[in-house]
Structure 1
Amino acid sequence: MNNLGKTIENLISSGPILIAFILSIIIAKFYQKFRLKQNYYGEIYVRKISNYKKFIWNFFIVIFPSIFLGIRGYNVGYDTHNNWINYLNVSNISLIKDFKEVGTSSPLFWIFRVLSYKIIGNNVSLYLILLSFLTLIIMTYSLEYWIKEISLPMSLFLYYSFFGLQLMNQSRQMLALSILLYALKFKIENKNKYYFLIIFLGMMIHYSAIIGIGFYFLDFRKKNYKLKKKVYFVFFIAIIFLLPKLSFLLSKLMIVKYRYYFLNYSFNKFGFGFYLNVLPVIFPVVLLRKYDKTKKGDYLKRILYLIIILRLMGYCSYFIMRMYYYSAIVLIILIPMLLNKVKNRGNRKIIKVIIILIYASYYIVNYGYANSAQILPYYTIFK
């Protein structure tokens, strides 16, 4: 009963953020209806609008969650307190003079923090609002590329239920995650220079975005396509058996700051956490896999399936465990895209309800019950 009572208390406390998430989803629904039109022949096309209008729509989609995420209390989420301390310490830092000492591991994020302080002063909540807003608006702009193939409301529902509250915990990595998601459209279009440039920018926010370089090699071209898929499968299976040794080797590739994560964290149990993180991501895609046989869809699936390896490697390395986010983020594109390809309306509704129940359950169990990062109970700075 104590656990049940605490879970209910946590979930009730998250009410204001849930309302903000719902508002965001509703506005996204109106936006997609505004953008998608039908021509004389019954074909769906995307209405072109000015960059200004596009920004205004995206602004209102993300502004309400950004506000409630930003005004959280300084002990809501493990990293929030550190964000407060690091931001307020900027008052004693020179942008140029102290760069070598504190800005080299994540220079773009450090510059963002310093410039924010120079502009808005010591208002930490406003800084956190800006950080949440930047993360979310890059994410919604990433979804623009897929607007004809996905349901924006469903994509946002999946994002908020799986990743949303992590914005109050691992803020810097969540920003890098949005940047990697934005980069994927350039990989799909084979604009590799832009892809690597954006991945590099993500690494300047959080070094873990380096995994995007690996994602590049999962996009198999026409030549020897079937052979490459088989090699991927064999590699996928083999790497599971080589996890401990591979973790040690990868630690040698990390900058000194991050080697600590590889060599000093270990997990001796295999169970609840793995299933909780992996099954909600994998199950809907496996359920819907027959509805898409395109190479673009296959590419996204190969990225998403890596969540199994990355989450397993979390038992050897805490750093890699957190990298599973970069694989999982594909779910907000892939699941709605596959769902839209289900032609039978009845089947589509049933599968949609199943997916909604899965992710609502994940939100309840992961954030309400497990609450490993102490993100809940939510309360504002005003309390």
Structure 2
Amino acid sequence: MRYFSLLLFAGLLAACSNPATTDSEITEGPDRASDTEPTMMLTAAGVEAETVFNYEDILWGFTWLPDGRMIATEKGGKLMIIDGDSSSLVTGVPEVRDVGQGGLLDVLLDQDFENNRLVYLSYSRSEDGGEKGFTSVGRGRLSDDETTLEDFTSLYDGGPATSKGQHYGSRMVWGPDDGHLYFTIGDRGNRDENPQDTTRDGGKVYRIAADGSIPNDNPFVGAPNAKEATYSFGHRNLQGMAVHPTTGEIWENEHGPRGGDEVNIIEAGKNYGWPVITYGINYDGSQITQEVAKPGMEQPVHYWVPSIAPSGMAFITGDRYPGWEGDLLVGSLKFSYLKLVHLDGNTVTGEQDLIKNIGRVRDVRMGPDEYIYASIEGTGIVRVVPQ
């Protein structure tokens, strides 16, 4: 196992104006912060990052098996079991369309994994020989010898397939109260039709039962021609999702265009506005809309102008990081840091940048040992530890 340390830096960023950027998660840029920094026992300069698994390609998502080993997705289509500084491949993974922002995306274990060994994947499903794709969610059984994902079956296909390579989403979490699967699909680059139309897929948070069936109390069940798996709509490209450890609320983050990245609390049937309202503008500097608020459309808990290109996120739990308990971590693809967002209830009170300049942060998780872990493109997986 190879370790290295990076000193981390504290600091709040004041609100600033939009810089010129180009479309996609790869180029979306800094943030908007509160003026007030709460008193903390631990500062950003008091933690270090150490590499626990070296890997050069993109580890899009990861989680832990019951025995403490990791299972991770590589964007190119590999499913891996990580044991210390070594790894092994799992076969039986569906074919993915590794184009643009698509590929093998998130990974989630079944709530009863120890008994049924089911593993859930979200991915860009390939169609027409790889010329087109759409976001799909499915599951398979990890074989007893851990070499194969057996009987993999798609549970939800967010079609139709398109040749566009952007805005697949996609994160997955289990609802703590209902046990249902919540997952995200981005607007697939079709902002004019998908996000605001509940009869179309894309630009939405979805809710299905563990077996793929539609819960009867989903908000659009019975609505004419509706995509009945839809739970909320009016989203752009959702790449972070986490369950609040105290309230059980489901939070998500999503990419805005040039500015307007958002953090939202998801509620059944609610419209989150994209693209009718937004704090962002087009990449060429032109206006998308003059509206930043409108009746019947939800306001974000927090937003960034300019963009930070948010990715995975997690709430801090445990007592390894004094003063940060309950705060929110958001990875930044553009600026290569972890954003620590301080919360008072659902109100953002300040921000700090952690692990600056470490690389594009793809996923963020709290480990079973109560340490913060993050997957860094070109580096692998790091653990954030107090000095």
Structure with greater Cα Rg: 1
TM-score (norm 2): 0.30
Higher helix share: 1
Higher RCO (Cα < 8 Å, 6 or more apart)? 1
More strand by share: 2
What TM-score, normalized to structure 1? Answer: 0.30
